[in-house]
A and B are shown apart, each in its own frame.
Chain A
Amino acid sequence: MPHAPADAVKALRYKQNNDSMSNEDQLLEEVTGSDYKYGFYTDIESDKAPNGLNEDIIRFISAKKNEPEWMLDWRLDAFRKWEKMTEPDWANIHYPKPDFQAISYYSAPKQKKTLDSLDEVDPELLKTFEKLGISLDEQKRLTGVAMDVVVDSVSVATTFKKTLAEKGIIFCAISEAIQEHPELVKKYLGTVVPKSDNFYAALNSAVFTDGSFCYIPKGVKCPMELSTYFRINEAGTGQFERTLLIADEDSYVSYLEGCTAPTRDENQLHAAVVELIALDDAEIKYSTVQNWYPGDKNGKGGVFNFVTKRGICERNAKISWTQVETGSAVTWKYPSCILKGENSIGEFYSVAVTNNYQQADTGTKMIHLGKNTKSTIISKGICAGKSNGSYRGLVKIGPRAENARNFSQCDSLLMGSSCGSHTFPYIETQNKTAKVEHEATTSKIGEDQIFYCNQRGIGEEEAIALIVNGYCKDVLNQLPMEFAVEAQKLLAISLEGSVG
């Protein structure tokens, strides 16, 4: 990790606290001189950038991260593009537009406030942990309770890192990758989601600081599920995350993102970008279980989650996106696949739950460019309370995509009568040999089904959990075993008390 900028800030703070000129002050002059070189003039008190976004702030972020010049130029270019863009409002969601000048775009990795014991943690949160079956140690980790060194998890992480290194797999923070593997980052960053792709992607490109980087070398099958969980010291999720995952020829990786534990965050706006690159014959499985704080029962608070996720498949490559989404006040998200190479395959399996006042506008885009490309879309929406869920999917068949195939199945399950569900399938075909099939259903959990369960001794809440899990089975089956079990419990919890 780069140290100079952090030291610079420390030195800066030191200056404010000490009037007398010292060696440190001279050092400060030297170090901050580089800041001035970039035209940085704001007087900073802490490791936090002042609110607002302008070129100076971006220079500041880049300097903080000790980034090479090309990276700064890349960010500035993104920023200039973003400035010319307007926030989209075509999604079927309604929310107060964030004030982008009221946000601080950089804070140094904060030491999470440590608590002395779990007694200090919100009891509601603990109840949820218990229902999810999260171990005590894990509860402490998630809530930031000071912990004795857990030998187990440390050793697991160490063995994990060792195994990966032996295979030549790179798995690290994106900021570390910019330092250590600039050639890979430079070659692939922004190639799948260009800076100007959309408003939030452009914003992310200009200001991202957190996220993961992963590279699987040629012919390597990654022997374990790669989970952000193992990137300890990087716990917690950033506001503008950037993930770049490259599977070189004939390699395989399964990547897990997120966690089932409820994630609270003081940052309302989250705009992540995920780019996947599957080279010839490679396969990437990307699974997400996301449980952002959705706001309270009245729709107050909660995270706005605007994510751009996209992967590109070269010849014979395959990407599958699997996601279980239960959180966020507002979600706007379309994991997509560009099927560029011949015979490449794209898959999208999604469960999206909305409850109370949540709004979700999710879906996928499958862009068929190569011959014999195939895609499958299975989307399961569950709406309860006064929520609103939309599926928006685009299947595009390019002129050279001979014999392209798509199958889409978009189902919605409504619970109660105050919620809404919408399906917007868009199909654009420029090749006559293509076959595109779309099926959609809307159903309600039948009272008959619930009574049948009741009669067999299964109470209402359990019955709903059972029926919902059955409804989502095709998607849950795609998740790695342990994740699937957690996801099931999570679904049950997020729908608690939603019928009756």
Chain B
Amino acid sequence: MLKISNLHAGIDGTEILKGIDLEIKAGEVHAIMGPNGSGKSTLSSVVAGREDYEVTQGHIDFEGEDLMDLAPEERAHKGVFLSFQYPIEIPGVTVTNFLKTSINETRKAQGLEPMPANVMLKKMREKMSLLEMDKGFLSRSLNEGFSGGEKKRNEIFQMAMLEPKLAILDETDSGLDIDALRIVANGVNKLKNKNNAVLLITHYQRLLDYIVPDFVHVLYKGKIVKSGDKNLALELEERGYDWIKEEQPA
């Protein structure tokens, strides 16, 4: 589904990603871990098409198409979803209105009619109960005054509504309390099927207890320096990153 090869990207002439190779197939769950500042969020932004970052080398192939040729909204229309590490506030725009616009713009791009209001409402109710969210959310301004955990849950709510092919969850677990983590993780698991894929970015094993990854990668200084199965995450939890850093050529 997603194939990243030799990706180099940076900002204002500083290289942040220094040759990333990563392949994610339909039905798989991947986790990326790594110390602060190693480039995890940069990678997700570049895949999503943030224009601040300049891609200097490499390719990102999504379902046989070169993502580099597509604007961020077009990537979204193709089914790329990013749950932001820091969700943005949009004052005065309700969650409902935002989602309605988002869904219908996506449908428009796919040549579909707008989703009928009753269908949308029904779906919203369904997904809200899946994520155990309060109905009151729908009429609040997007992310404005939301607690850290509420913002994250709202990201997953949007994901549930949009049903993307590839969901990149950038530290969705941070900020969630113990119960919320379980609820959100169960929600993600329920949405998971053999046709879609998830890329989790996280610092902690506890998320991976719920959403079990097929592959775990360690990103360090802009490169994937180690890949393994779910046991790699357990090892990191125990030993930290020092041993990996030491393995790197100086």
Contact = CB atoms under 8 A, between A and B. Distances in A.
Contact of B91 (A452, A453, A454, A470): A470
B76 A456 contact: yes
B93 A469 contact: yes
Interface in B95-118: 97-98, 101-103, 105-106, 109
The winner among B51, B90, B105 for most chain A CB atoms within 10 A is: B90
Interface residues of A, number: 23
A474 interface: yes
A457 B102 CA distance: 6
B146 to A, nearest CB: 14
A454 B75 CA distance: 9
Interface in B69-106: 71-73, 76-77, 81-82, 84, 87-93, 97-98, 101-103, 105-106
A121 interface: no
A460 B102 CA distance: 12
B48 interface: yes
A462 B102 CA distance: 10
The winner among B73, B87, B141, B158 for most chain A CB atoms within 10 A is: B73
Chain A, interface SS category: helix
A449 B92 contact: no
Contact of A457 (B52, B76, B92): B76
A454 B76 contact: yes
Contact of A466 (B49, B50, B101): B101
Contacts of A466: 90, 93, 97-98, 101
B87 A458 contact: no
Nearest to B141: A470
B105 A462 contact: yes
B162 interface: yes
A447 B52 contact: yes
Interface in B23-58: 48-52
A451 interface: yes
A455 interface: yes
Interface residues of B, number: 32
B90 A449 contact: yes
Nearest to A454: B72
A458 B88 contact: no
A462 to B, nearest CB: 6
Contact of A455 (B72, B97, B142): B72
A459 B97 CA distance: 15
Nearest to B92: A470
A199 interface: no
Contact of A454 (B71, B81, B87, B97): B71
A181 interface: no
Contacts of B162: 456-457
Contact of B82 (A455, A462, A469, A470): A455
Contacts of A456: 76, 98, 102, 158, 162
Interface string A466-489: 110111111000000000000000
Contact of A471 (B72, B82, B92, B109): B92
B93 to A, nearest CB: 4
A448 B89 CA distance: 9
B98 A457 contact: no
Contact of B90 (A454, A459, A462, A467): A467
Contact of B105 (A451, A458, A467): A458
B72 A451 contact: yes
The winner among A448, A453, A467, A471 for most chain B CB atoms within 10 A is: A453
Given A466-B101, A470-B141, A457 B106 contact: yes
Given A447-B52, A457-B76, A459-B73, A452 B101 contact: no
B76 A469 contact: no
B90 A458 contact: no
B88 A452 contact: yes
Contacts of A2: none
| 9 A-B pairs closest in CB distance | A470-B92, A470-B93, A473-B92, A454-B72, A457-B106, A457-B76, A456-B102, A452-B88, A454-B73
Given A452-B87, A457-B73, 18 more contacts: A447-B52, A448-B88, A449-B88, A454-B49, A455-B48, A455-B73, A456-B102, A456-B158, A456-B162, A457-B77, A457-B106, A459-B105, A466-B93, A467-B93, A470-B92, A470-B142, A471-B91, A473-B93
